[in-house]
Structure 1
């Protein structure tokens, strides 16, 4: 950012127009690539087609992403994050706010809201990822199965969850993480929302109810726990 003098003589940061143009160009390329990859498949889509859809020169695509594999990874990463900011899921405001909820039930409610948004973006491209990884080992290597990044996120959520006063007795971090990982999987989301025609809201309500039943103490037990601590 440029620094200029304001009317009061103080230094004022002026937005870097070049950086903003670069950001918008990158976003256009990623959006165009996502549309084409979903419609045509990874292998059938050329970078020239991506450039044409984005309204930029193909040299610009190569300059920004180097190759199609790097562009594909950015499409997936952006779908998970919802934007182009290089911020990990566990460092996102919504995730931190969910983990900071004072009760397990409240954390699950906030967590499900954030996860539903992610799955709405990611689930439609899951078959695309699987197909691309099957034909290109270098793409498969970009998302190692061990450790699974999705499990790492759910494990962190589980660690916060089991510290809450209304968590079901006997639930440990491993069991909570397994339940979050399994019930909030893209595959299960696709089964209900895309295959069976559920709305994302209906899936969220079902998943929250299932997880609350599995992970939270019943109301009477929770009330007794609260009373015992007051």
Structure 2
């Protein structure tokens, strides 16, 4: 092979590589568009009422394009729930990076998560799909285990510092807080579309962590 042919092959290879990369980027962008549309639909109408065609129309693409990335509606729900759990640690990360006392960090984590429930459609959809899991013919992860483990870790730190002052163990305390929080967001959603979720979460903090944050 001559040097000219080698250079030509190299240019062709580089062009093909760039083309493949652009194709992958477009596919990823399309998948994210579909996922965002599905989250909006699930948050607004719930799993049973939504069809793949509904998602396609919301995403402004064909039903075939949706099926290219997701085999069925159940796969869409699974993907939305997975994204929900991926986002939760990102949402609360700033609270954990502040080097706050553990109980203050717990309060900040709950507050930041409450704010996300107000306008993040993936967060809203993920929580609703957890409630509707009996309608979804696919396996979803156990609800809120990682979130509860994070709260438990903070409460364990508080207990080791002598700041918890509770007859409950840190893991039991974490279960109570997580149940109260996600129950409050659900009631807030049903009653007033989460307009009062910040107030409800503040009430939980004041009731369950009084004089400690």
The alignment's TM-score, normalised by the length of structure 1, stands at: 0.64
Q: Name 1:32's counterpart in structure 2.
A: 37
Q: Name 2:197's counterpart in structure 1.
A: 200
Q: Name 2:144's counterpart in structure 1.
A: 150
- Structure 2 residues without counterparts, runs of 5 or longer: 1-20
Offset of residue 102 of structure 1: 4.1
Q: Name 1:21's counterpart in structure 2.
A: 26
* Whole-angstrom CA distance in 1 between matches of 2:47 and 2:91: 32
Contact 1:37 1:128 in 2 (8 A): yes
Offset of residue 29 of structure 1: 0.9
Q: Name 1:49's counterpart in structure 2.
A: 54
Q: Which has the higher contact order (CA 8 A, sep 6+)?
A: 2
Judging changes above 3 Å, is the alpha-carbon distance between structure 1 residues 209 and 166 closer, same or farther for their aligned structure 2 residues? Answer: farther
- Structure 1 residues without counterparts, runs of 5 or longer: 1-15, 83-88, 218-230
For 1:103-118, list aligned pairs within 5 A: 103-118=101-116
Provide the alpha-carbon RMSD of the alignment.
Answer: 3.2
Judging changes above 3 Å, is the alpha-carbon distance between structure 1 residues 22 and 166 closer, same or farther for their aligned structure 2 residues? Answer: farther
Matching residue within 188, 195, 201 for 2:184: 188
Offset of residue 184 of structure 1: 1.4
* Whole-angstrom CA distance in 1 between matches of 2:152 and 2:126: 26
Count of matched residue pairs: 186
CA deviation string 1:67-118 (max 9, x = no partner): 2111111223334444xxxxxx45x473485277341232123211332145
Contact 2:42 2:125 in 1 (8 A): no
Contact 2:34 2:56 in 1 (8 A): yes
Q: Name 1:94's counterpart in structure 2.
A: 92
Q: Name 1:134's counterpart in structure 2.
A: 134
Offset of residue 39 of structure 1: 4.3
Judging changes above 3 Å, is the alpha-carbon distance between structure 1 residues 53 and 204 closer, same or farther for their aligned structure 2 residues? Answer: same
The answer to whether residue 165 in structure 2 is matched with residue 169 in structure 1 is yes
Judging changes above 3 Å, is the alpha-carbon distance between structure 1 residues 68 and 201 closer, same or farther for their aligned structure 2 residues? Answer: same
Matching residue within 147, 150, 160 for 2:154: 160
Contact 1:26 1:64 in 2 (8 A): yes
* Whole-angstrom CA distance in 1 between matches of 2:60 and 2:91: 33
